[in-house]
Amino acid sequence: MKYPTYLRSGGTIGLVAPSFGCAFEPYKSCLDSAEKRFEKMGYKLIEGPNCRKSDGVGISSSPENCGKELTEFYCSENNDMLITCGGGELMCETLDYVDFDAIKEAKPKWYMGYSDNTNFTFLLNTICDTAAIYGPSIGAFGMEKLEPALQDALDIFTGKKTSVSGYTSFEVESLKDEEHPFVGYNLTEKKELRLFMGETETNRVPEFEGIITGGCLDCLANLVGTKYDQVAAFNERYKDKGVVWFLEACDLNVMSIRRALWNLDRAGWFVNTKGFIIGRPAAAWKQEMMGLDQYNAVTGILGKYNVPIVMDADVGHLAPAMPIISGAHVHVSVDNNITLTYDFI
């Protein structure tokens, strides 16, 4: 696995929009505010040509334009890391226009984004053997004050931290809107982990470790069986270390979560798993359908591996979320909280 160098003081952040751009409120104001924050910290920023566009379908611009922007900015020597402008819906359509061969040969740099950006963070791991950061988009840094999770992300890509822990509370409904673009997280819910060994719920799971990868199930399920599915080769490369999977869902209901996991499982993705970290599902939070809830939607498929399954973790769309160095060797310890310690080995 190739690991990028940390963003140095005075370095340059490239902004790209392979999914949604920041063309309308509140995202446009959030982008402006985030840029001011980073500039005050001494960093330079360069916007890609699609960052403020909205002429695409489910993404900022055409798939061709988005793929070109992503490739050119990743391979460019004019920026030191990339942060995405946002998530979206159809970033998968840009993949045919991303030059993965060129990216493999380029000097590795941090790419940070989540949700629809799974289409790049995950493929950086599995195709390019390069680490990425599953973390906030640029607009999140525009809020009035940096939440601890955002500070954690900043500390990760600048090299000030190699370990992160979960948080005490989370939001179900965001208060951010056009009139309140800079509002912080609406932390109304207490975080409580649910722990399983296989299908059996327990009060404690053993520590586990391996190469961590994963992302948004909505995206991962679409990649199975395509030419971008190179998970078998990834698993073979890291069979001695094993794999820790982090998974979260955005728009999927509990039935869709179970179907997506069935799809990944039957494709052989989990053969070397050492454990699972499952984020709070955004659309399926506390949902029940025909005897299925967010827990047995997962354990009914993944329980057979008889490895730790940490559920309702601080990963994904119900903020705050821990920044995950996807592709790093991770050591996972869990009690009433979860701690991820990253090693670049």
Give the model confidence (pLDDT) of 184-242 as tens digits: 999 999 999 999 999 999 999 999 999 999 999 999 999 999 999 999 999 999 999 99
- The answer to whether residue 345 scores a pLDDT higher than 80 is no
Digit-coded pLDDT (tens) for 262-285: 999 999 999 999 999 999 999 999
Question: What's the rounded mean pLDDT across residues 148-162?
Answer: 97
Q: Which of 219, 245, 247 is nearest to 330 (CA)?
A: 245
* Domain edge (last residue) among 135, 163, 191: 163
In whole numbers, what is the pLDDT of the chain averaged over residues? 97
Q: How far from chain centre, in Å, is Cα 304? A: 25
pTM over 0.85: yes
Relative to beta strand 110-113, strand 132-134 is: parallel
Pair 91, 203 in one domain:
no
| Number of domains the chain is built from | 2
Q: Flag whether 5 is in a domain.
A: no
Domain region containing 264: 169-343
Q: Which of 33, 94, 26 is nearest to 60 (CA)?
A: 94
Residue type, 274: K
CA atoms 307, 313, 314, 318: torsion sign? positive
Specify which residues 191 forms β-bridges with.
Answer: none
Note the pLDDT of residue 257: 98
- The answer to whether residue 179 scores a pLDDT higher than 90 is no
Pair 327, 199 in one domain:
yes
Hey, what are 78's tokens? 């004019």
Pair 68, 190 in one domain:
no
Note the pLDDT of residue 68: 98
Identify the residue whose tokens are 């020597």: 77
Relative to beta strand 189-190, strand 169-170 is: antiparallel
Q: Beta-carbon neighbour count of residue 57 at 10 Å?
A: 11
Pair 206, 178 in one domain:
yes
Q: Flag whether 7 is in a domain.
A: no
Percent of the chain surpassing pLDDT 90 = 99
115 half-sphere exposure, CB direction, 13 A CA radius: 23
Q: How confident is the model at residue 9 (pLDDT cuts 50, 70, 90)?
A: very high
Identify the residue whose tokens are 């500390």: 155
Contact call for residues 80 and 107 (beta carbons, < 8 A): no
- The answer to whether residue 91 scores a pLDDT higher than 90 is yes
Q: Flag whether 1 is in a domain.
A: no
Question: What's the rounded mean pLDDT across residues 147-170?
Answer: 97
Residue 281 to residue 223: CA distance in whole angstroms: 20
Q: In Å, how far are 9, 31, 49, 90, 315 from 16, measured between CA atoms?
A: 21, 12, 8, 15, 22
Q: Which of 97, 150, 82, 70 is nearest to 320 (CA)?
A: 150
Percent of the chain surpassing pLDDT 70 = 100
Question: What's the rounded mean pLDDT across residues 29-56?
Answer: 97
Q: How far from chain centre, in Å, is Cα 79? A: 21
Pair 146, 189 in one domain:
no
Residue 130 to residue 274: CA distance in whole angstroms: 20
CA atoms 245, 150, 25, 50: torsion sign? negative
Pair 48, 113 in one domain:
yes
